[in-house]
């Protein structure tokens, strides 16, 4: 039952924000309350999961269900969604002129619908419906990417919608071929859990072909190189709270769909299939590591770091070959939390300095101590410095790889991570410290933005040092649902 309430709340709030109230603040507050409720409900359903088996919703159990992995993704989406809604209050209030209340209401309507589509991806269990939900995450966020209405943001929105729709069409081919394979092997429910048990009976050529289409199609959405070109554009041009959602969790939902294939391909006689994960993953990590050295725009810096993380998670999935994937699952969580936090800091920085160029931001810590400290924490966290969660995830992946004797892969991965580490910290360091560049009194941060920075920093800082037992249990369950 909780499942439906979770999906219903954003829909209701989206409807509410269409009411032409005189002041759009109502829809902003409703969005915050709604997102908080969704987060609390997700937390409850996460606590309710205590076995490896998926729990279906009443009546519609073959359409909606959750297991460890989907609850983890749900939890991340709802947390980042809540933080982003809080940040939006101050950010949109500051950047959109007072006399454009219509535009603000439109923003919140789209924000809630976008959130709804992302919540639906992990909750749906029918593969074809998941495809539709992923496609909707694109379509419902296009106008959020182009929200600023500048030529640059419209260009970003165009690239975003065209490339990801192309990817979706390829993924649809994969879905259909998988369904065909399923019906050849005797048919049955087209759900993740049924496919997991029945996949050995499907002729391998169908699983292989479907998998390649899935990887290329949803990989476009997750920003895997060479289909990543839209990602830095879209993730740098959207308003910052939307960037946090796009970069932190939208990419994760796409990757989630690819990872769902892992139990199916892990058991195939041609285990060369997991090599696809390794190759695509390593290329993504390598290319993004070199690209992020030379960025001029700090939001693009974080966007490239997202591509890097997606690559690392994919490598981890490839290494596991359908067994232990704790590293990958842990990194999914760490990425979503740290990356969204980075984009909140970037948004705060944009409000304070009014520029997106790395070169014109100096001495941020003197201009606005809170923003400076947040940026430093965020930078350290995504670069993978100890003791942050990303570091622990990467460390456990490297250890798992070494234990399997994959020295070549791990060697290359370590070098690329090292390059990205230096690149990110060099740029962040330049922005945070040094002599303050623009004289004059900077505008103070809106209270809600400051509050978001504090709230979002808590898990980023804490999870590297201490993981609560219940969360640890959930992570293990999530890894379990990726194994066979």
Partner 1 sequence: MTQFNALMGGLFILTAFGIVGLRQILGSLRLFVAQSLLLAASAIILGVNHASIHLFIVAGIVLIVKALFIPWLLYRVLSHELHAKREVEQALDVPTSLLLAAGLTVIAYFLVNPLLTAAPDPFIRINLPVGMAGVLLGAYAVAVRREALPQLLGILTMENGAFFAGISIASDLPLLTELAAAFDVLIIAVVVGLLTRRIQKQVGTTLVGEMAKLKEE
Q: Which residues bind partner 1 (CB under 8 A)?
A: 126, 128-129, 132, 135-136, 139, 142-143, 146, 149-152, 154-159, 161-162, 165-166, 169-170, 172-173, 176-177, 179-180, 183-184, 190, 203, 205-206, 209, 232-233, 236-237, 291, 294-296, 300
Q: How far apart are CA 77 and CA 73, in angstroms?
A: 6
DSSP 335-358: HHHHHHHHHHHHHHHHHHH---BS
Using CA atoms, how far residue 367 sits from 293, 314, 349, 378, in Å, is 25, 39, 10, 18
Q: Which is nearer to partner 1, 149 or 429 (CB)?
A: 149
Q: Considering beta carbons, is residue 183 or 470 the nearer one to partner 1?
A: 183
Q: Are 211 and 263 in contact (CB under 8 A)?
A: no
CB of 157 to partner 1, least distance (A): 6
Rounded distance between C-alpha atoms, residue 315 and residue 307, angstroms: 12
Nearer to partner 1, 145 or 332 (CB): 145
Burial class, 439, CB count within 10 angstroms (exposed 0-12 / middle 13-18 / buried 19+): exposed
Total Cβ atoms within 10 A of residue 385: 16
Instruction: Give the shortest CB-331-to-partner 1 separation in angstroms.
Output: 26
Q: Tokens at residue 196, please?
A: 């997991």
Rounded least distance, CB 333 to partner 1, Å: 30
What does 90-149 look like in DSSP terms, one character per residue?
HHHHHHS-TT-HHHHHHHHHHHHHHHHHHHHHHHB-BHHHHHHHHHHHHHTTHHHHTTT-
Specify the residue, 76 or 136, whose C-beta has the smaller distance to partner 1.
136
Among residues 199, 190, 214, the alpha carbon closest in space to that of 127 is found at 190
Residue 330 Cβ, how far from partner 1 at the closest point, in Å? 31
Instruction: Give the Cα separation of 244 and 234 in Å (integer).
Output: 12
Q: How far is the CB of 228 from partner 1 (least distance, A)?
A: 12
* Smallest separation, CB 191 to partner 1 (Å): 11
Burial 22-57 (b: 16+ CB within 10 A, else e): eebeebbebbbebbbbbbebbbebbeebeeeebbbb
Q: Which is nearer to partner 1, 237 or 345 (CB)?
A: 237
Could you tell me the smallest distance in angstroms from the CB atom of residue 468 to partner 1? 38
Give me the least distance between CB of 419 and partner 1, in Å please: 16
* Smallest distance from partner 1 to CB 61, Å: 15
Nearer to partner 1, 176 or 467 (CB): 176
Whole-number minimum distance, CB 44 to partner 1, in Å? 28
The percent helix, strand, coil of the chain (3-state, each to 5) is 75, 0, 20
Question: Looking at beta carbons only, is 64 or 391 nearer to partner 1?
Answer: 64
CB of 172 or CB of 436, closer to partner 1: 172
Q: Is 302 exposed, middle or buried (0-12, 13-18, 19+ CB in 10 A)?
A: buried
Distant-in-sequence, close-in-space partners of 435: CB < 8 Å, separation ≥ 6: 362, 363
Between CA 262 and CA 382 the distance in angstroms is: 26
Tally of CA atoms within 13 A in the half-sphere of 393 that contains its CB: 32
Residue 428 contacts by C-beta under 8 Å, 6 or more apart in sequence? 375, 376, 378, 379, 380, 383
Alpha-carbon span 239 to 145, nearest angstrom: 7
Q: How far is the CB of 106 from partner 1 (least distance, A)?
A: 12
Residue closer to partner 1 by CB (options 72, 235) is 235
- Nearer of residues 129 and 319 to partner 1, judged by Cβ: 129
- How many CA atoms, within 13 angstroms, populate the side-chain half-sphere of residue 283? 12
Whose Cβ is closer to partner 1: residue 128's or residue 412's?
128
């Amino acid at each position: 039952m909780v499942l439906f309430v979770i999906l219903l709340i954003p829909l209701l709030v989206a409807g509410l924000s269409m009411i032409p109230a005189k002041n759009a603040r109502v829809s902003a507050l409703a969005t915050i309350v709604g997102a908080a409720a969704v987060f609390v409900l997700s937390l409850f359903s996460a606590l309710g999961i205590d076995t490896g088996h998926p729990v279906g919703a009443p009546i519609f159990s073959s359409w909606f269900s959750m297991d460890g992995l989907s609850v983890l993704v749900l939890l991340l989406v709802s947390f980042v969604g809540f933080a982003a809604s809080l940040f939006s209050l101050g950010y949109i209030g500051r950047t959109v002129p007072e006399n454009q209340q219509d535009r603000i209401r439109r923003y919140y309507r789209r924000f809630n619908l976008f959130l709804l589509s992302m919540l639906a991806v992990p909750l749906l269990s029918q593969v074809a419906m998941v495809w539709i939900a992923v496609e909707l995450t694109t379509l419902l966020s296009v106008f959020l990417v182009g929200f600023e209405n500048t030529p640059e943001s419209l260009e970003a929105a165009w690239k975003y919608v065209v490339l990801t729709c192309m990817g979706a069409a390829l993924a649809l081919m994969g879905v259909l071929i998988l369904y065909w394979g399923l019906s050849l092997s005797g048919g049955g429910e087209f759900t993740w859990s049924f496919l997991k048990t029945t996949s050995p009976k499907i002729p391998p050529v169908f699983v292989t072909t479907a998998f390649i289409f899935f990887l290329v199609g949803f990989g476009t959405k997750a920003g895997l190189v060479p289909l990543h070109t839209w990602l830095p554009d879209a993730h740098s041009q959207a308003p910052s709270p939307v960037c946090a959602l796009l970069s932190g969790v939208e990419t994760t939902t796409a990757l989630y769909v690819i990872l769902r294939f892992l139990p199916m391909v892990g058991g195939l006689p041609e285990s060369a299939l997991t090599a696809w994960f390794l190759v695509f993953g390593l290329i993504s990590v390598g290319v993004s590591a070199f690209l992020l050295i030379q960025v001029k725009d700090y939001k693009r810096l974080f966007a490239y770091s997202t591509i890097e993380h997606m690559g690392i998670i994919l490598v981890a999935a490839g290494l596991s070959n359908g067994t232990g994937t704790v590293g990958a699952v842990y990194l999914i969580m760490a990425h979503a939390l740290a990356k969204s936090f980075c984009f909140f800091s970037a948004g705060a920085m944009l409000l304070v300095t009014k520029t997106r160029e790395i070169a014109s931001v100096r001495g941020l810590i003197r201009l606005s101590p809170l923003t400076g400290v947040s940026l430093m924490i965020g930078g350290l966290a995504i670069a993978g410095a100890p003791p942050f969660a990303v570091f622990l995830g990467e460390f456990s992946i490297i250890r798992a790889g070494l234990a399997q004797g994959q020295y070549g892969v791990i060697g290359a991965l370590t070098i690329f991570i090292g390059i990205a580490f230096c690149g990110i910290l060099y740029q962040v360091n330049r922005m945070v410290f040094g002599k303050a560049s623009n004289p004059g009194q900077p505008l103070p941060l809106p209270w809600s933005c400051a509050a978001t920075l504090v709230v979002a920093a808590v898990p980023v800082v804490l999870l590297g040092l201490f993981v609560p037992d219940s969360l640890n249990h959930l992570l293990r369950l999530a890894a379990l649902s990726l194994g066979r």
